[in-house]
């Protein structure tokens, strides 16, 4: 694997997991990088963010998948709003 690169950051780990799953489902290895003192200071995640990291050799593919994921998420959110 090439040098790790931050793909994106989110404020909370539960928001990162669906992105990690989507990337994995599409063949991109990714992982979470956070600076929360080993879990002792979870509030730092909100301040500094949870970073989603991929290998630099998969960055272009990961960026496209992230854009696709965000587009699908926006559609899902719009559908939820209209179904009420």
| pLDDT tens readout for residues 21-74 | 999 999 999 999 876 555 554 555 445 678 899 999 999 999 999 999 999 887
* pLDDT for the residue 13: 82
Count of helices and strands (H, E) across the chain: 3, 3
- Which residue, 43, 44, 63, is CA-closest to 55? 63
* pLDDT for the residue 42: 54
Go through the domains of the chain in sequence order and give each one's CATH number: 4-83 (3.30.70.1530)
* pLDDT for the residue 45: 47
* pLDDT for the residue 36: 54
Are 65 and 18 in contact by the 8 Å Cβ rule? The answer is no
Taking the CA atoms of 21, 26, 27 and 33 in sequence, report the sign of the dihedral they define.
negative
Structure tokens at 42: 């979870």
Give the distance, in angstroms, between the CA of residue 84 and the centroid of all CA atoms in the same chain. 28
pLDDT over 50 (residue 80) = no
């Amino acid at each position: 694997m090439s040098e790790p690169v931050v793909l994106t950051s989110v404020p909370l780990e539960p928001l990162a997991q669906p992105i990690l799953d989507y990337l994995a489902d599409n063949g991109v290895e990714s992982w979470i990088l956070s600076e929360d003192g080993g879990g002792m200071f979870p509030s730092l995640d909100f301040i500094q963010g949870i970073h989603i990291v991929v290998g630099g050799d998969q960055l272009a593919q990961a960026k496209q998948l992230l854009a696709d994921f965000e587009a699908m998420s926006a559609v899902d959110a719009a559908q939820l709003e209209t179904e009420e």
